[in-house]
Amino acid sequence: MGLAGRYLEERGFSTVVLTPTHDFNRAVGIPRSAAIEYPYGRLLGQVGDREGQKNVLLAVLEVLRTAERPGEVRHLPFRWPEEPKETKWQPPEMSPLIKLFLEEIKKARRQEAGGERS
């Protein structure tokens, strides 16, 4: 999504990405990011929580309005009301990519736990 934001920004649109993983900014260089600690697929809020969704949307618009420099990341203060394991954001079936890289993914955790890469 960062690449899409860059593409549009280059063509004269002002953009803001509402992102659950602002760390991708290190790889891509995203013009404006509003970082939120919400589960994937529900970045505005819970189903039917119109007021909560609107508050997030207004906060994102505020990032668009006030960001001052390319690459700026603003951290939004909203808290998701469930623990990560309760959010059920993952697909019912493991994605084809995860199946393909499953051994590498497990290895990455072992390496991280072993301090091979921080």
Partner 1 sequence: MENQTKPVDGFRFLPPSLAAWIRALLPSHEYQGEIPWTPVEKPLSKLTFSLVTSAGVSLRSDPPFDMEREKREPTWGDRSYRVLPRGTTARDITVRHLHINTTYIEQDLNVILPLDLMEELEREGIIGRLAPSSYSFYGFQWESTEFLEQAIAPMSRRMKEEGVDAVLLTPA
Do 30 and 17 form a contact (C-beta atoms < 8 A)? yes
Q: Is 81 among the residues that bind partner 1 (CB under 8 A)?
A: no
Least distance from partner 1 to the Cβ atom of residue 105, Å: 4
Least distance from partner 1 to the Cβ atom of residue 81, Å: 13
Q: Is 109 among the residues that bind partner 1 (CB under 8 A)?
A: yes
Nearer to partner 1, 81 or 111 (CB): 111
Environment class of residue 31 by beta-carbon count within 10 Å: exposed (0-12), middle (13-18) or buried (19+)? buried
Q: Is 27 among the residues that bind partner 1 (CB under 8 A)?
A: yes
Q: Binders of partner 1 among 5-24, rule CB under 8 A?
A: 5-24
Q: Binders of partner 1 among 40-69, rule CB under 8 A?
A: 40-48, 50, 53-54, 57-58, 60-61, 64-65, 69
State how far the alpha carbon of 91 is from the alpha carbons of 42, 49, 94, 95, in Å.
13, 22, 7, 7
Do 43 and 90 form a contact (C-beta atoms < 8 A)? no
